[in-house]
Amino acid sequence: QSVLTQPPSASGTPGQRVTISCSGSSSNIGSNFVYWYQQLPGTAPKLLIFRNNQRPSGVPDRFSGSKSGTSASLAISGLRSEEEANYYCAAWDDSLGGWVFGGGTKLTVL
């Protein structure tokens, strides 16, 4: 099992807004920033959100992140078919002294 908990799947129709949750504990999300990665089929992960809600250059503002306590979420508005991918949350874990990931959420665009 992954240290961070994500729903295994999510879905939406084009143009819709979807959210993906990520739950952790006081040693990771509760005391550190959250990061989100997008992994398109057959490709390497790509950084989508850093420090809870910051977007690297080139990431559309349709992607947004938030954090509250020991949980975080990724929201995608104006969903597009090409955003069908796996999404992973990540955080530094103070107790483990390393990075932990969620199990990933497979987003299907219907």
Tell me the closest approach of the beta carbon of residue 13 to another protein, in angstroms: 26
Please list every residue from 42 through 101 that binds another protein, using CB under 8 A.
Answer: 43-47, 50, 56, 86, 88, 90, 92, 96-101
Please list every residue from 22 through 41 that binds another protein, using CB under 8 A.
Answer: 33, 35, 37
Residue 81 is classified by DSSP as G
Tell me the closest approach of the beta carbon of residue 101 to another protein, in angstroms: 4
The position carrying tokens 């790509």 is 46
Half-sphere exposure of 26 (CA within 13 A, CB side): 0
How far apart are the C-alpha atoms of 4 and 92, rounded to whole Å? Answer: 11
Q: Which is nearer to another protein, 77 or 103 (CB)?
A: 103
Q: Is-contact 20 65, C-beta < 8 A?
A: no
| Lookup: tokens for 18 | 């979807």
Q: Which is nearer to another protein, 35 or 63 (CB)?
A: 35
Task: Count interface residues toward another protein (CB under 8 A).
Answer: 24
